[in-house]
Amino acid sequence: MLKIGCDRIARVSFVNTFICAFDLPNWAADFLNLPASSYGSVIGQLGMFACARCGSKGLLKRPKTGDVLCRDCFLWCFEEEVHWTITSARLLRRGDKVAIGASGGKDSTVLSYVMKLLNDRYDYGVELILLSIDEGITGYRDDSLETVKRNKKQFGLPLKVLSYKDLYGWSMDDIVQKIGLRNNCTFCGVFRRQALDRGAALVGANKICTGHNADDMAETIMMNVLRCDIGRLKRCTDIITGADGNLPRFKPFKYAYEKEIVMYAHVRKLDYFSTECKYAPNGYRGHVRAYIKDLEKLRPRSILDVISSGEQMIIREDVKVPVQGNCAVCGYISSQRFCQACILLKTLNDGLPKIAIGEGVVIRRPRSKKITEEVAKSLNEIALEKCATCDSLSAP
């Protein structure tokens, strides 16, 4: 069952899907008001588009290339491009145990399905497990987790669910009630990234696979350019990050357009959840996303152009890039003495509303004072009480 929400390319009506996919002229819109007996004549006009690969009746036009493809050729092209991405970048090795970040949305659902499909088709020899993070957002994450549980059965993959409440003692609903909507995405982003790492370690995975697509990559590059965040700009274009650490992350959908992922889910009739997070409209990324979408309307290839530009940017030698280390409290990767998660936890538990968190996820501390040993002790107590609860959680 396909749940249709805010995705523009997915439509409830069968014919409306074709109209959207082909960018048909105004006459096609009038078809929606015609009786069912007239459907055949209009569908016949759709058949005038031939598949660019095999010459059979076309089903849709790829947003990325503009090629008209039939159902089978579109599915084959999408899957083979992901396979090429995985093999050319050497993202997997036989014996790997991969935790797939599963939210129930279109990206993670298609990712889970395609990874399972390709693993069986090409005998990657890897073990796959679904890993979901429950942020504690009523009316959003609780519903999407039901989709993930159905995906578990549909794809035949094991599932592990961890919650912010278990890991940190706070749900996102609690955090929003405490701080409001201004910086909630900052808290969620920091906590979610660390939660995925902790969850992957719990299930014994040695790699994490996420559903970040080409649109996401372009948005992140643009955000880091606008914020002049040199450290993140250098890392955000990499298809695999943290390769030197214990838990590398990779993105098989780096070159896959969001629209094509939705088309794939629609054609495969995959079960996914498409309602947007109720707190997301307040995030900075939403404004950048709107800008990227406007660029895509003018030039569909602009998404790949932004990614290519980000990849070719060279950081000057005299620019100091933050060096990755480990948090003195919880041991998590951090370029500062204390990781952002521990600092944010302290602001929540101590009730410090005056600590400013910028739109660029940069925590601004008072310059006149350093974090004292007393604060470090406090952070250590919080980390031991909240973060280390992972040790008591059992793997599936």
Give the neighbor-by-neighbor strand order of the sheet with 240-241: 159-163, 127-134, 97-101, 207-209, 249-250, 240-241
Is residue 3 scored above 60 in pLDDT?
no
**pLDDT for the residue numbered 338:** 84
Least confident of 107-111, 130-134, 251-255, 297-301: 297-301
**285, amino acid identity:** R
Name the residue among 242, 203, 226 with its Cα closest to residue 102: 203
Distance CA 174, CA 16 (A): 41
Quick one: pLDDT at residue 135? 93
Q: How confident is the model at residue 246 (pLDDT cuts 50, 70, 90)?
A: confident
Distances (CA, A) of 228 to 152, 182, 185, 381: 40, 21, 19, 34
- The tokens of 258 are what? 């969001």
pTM greater than 0.75 (yes/no): yes
- Give residue 35's pLDDT: 43
**What is the pLDDT, as a whole number, of residue 102?**
96
Query: Domains of the chain by range and CATH?
Result: 14-64 (no CATH), 71-312 (3.40.50.620), 325-392 (no CATH)
**Which residues make beta-bridge pairs with 357?**
363
- Which CA distances in Å does 131 have to 117, 134, 315? 18, 10, 35
Give the residue, 11 or 212, on which the prediction is more confident: 212
Tell me whether residue 88 is exposed, middle or buried, using C-beta atoms within 10 angstroms of its C-beta: 0 to 12, 13 to 18, 19 or more: exposed
Give the pLDDT mean for 83-97.
97
pLDDT of 262 above 90: yes
Which of these ranges, 96-105, 259-268, 283-292, 331-340, has the smallest mean pLDDT?
331-340
Identify the pLDDT of residue 330. Answer: 80
Q: Which of 77, 80, 87 is nearest to 54 (CA)?
A: 77
Residue 389 has pLDDT above 60, yes or no: no
Taking residues 141-155, report their average pLDDT: 95
Average pLDDT, the chain: 79
Q: Report the pLDDT value the prediction gives residue 15, as an integer from 0 to 100.
A: 40
Q: What is the per-residue pLDDT across 174-226, written as a single tens digit (0 to 9) for each?
A: 999 888 877 788 888 889 999 999 999 999 999 999 999 999 999 999 998 88
As a whole number, mean pLDDT of residues 349-358 equals 52
Q: What is the CA radius of gyration of the chain?
A: 23
CA angle (216, 220, 223) in 5-degree steps: 140
Residue 232: what are its φ and ψ, rounded to 5°?
-75, -30
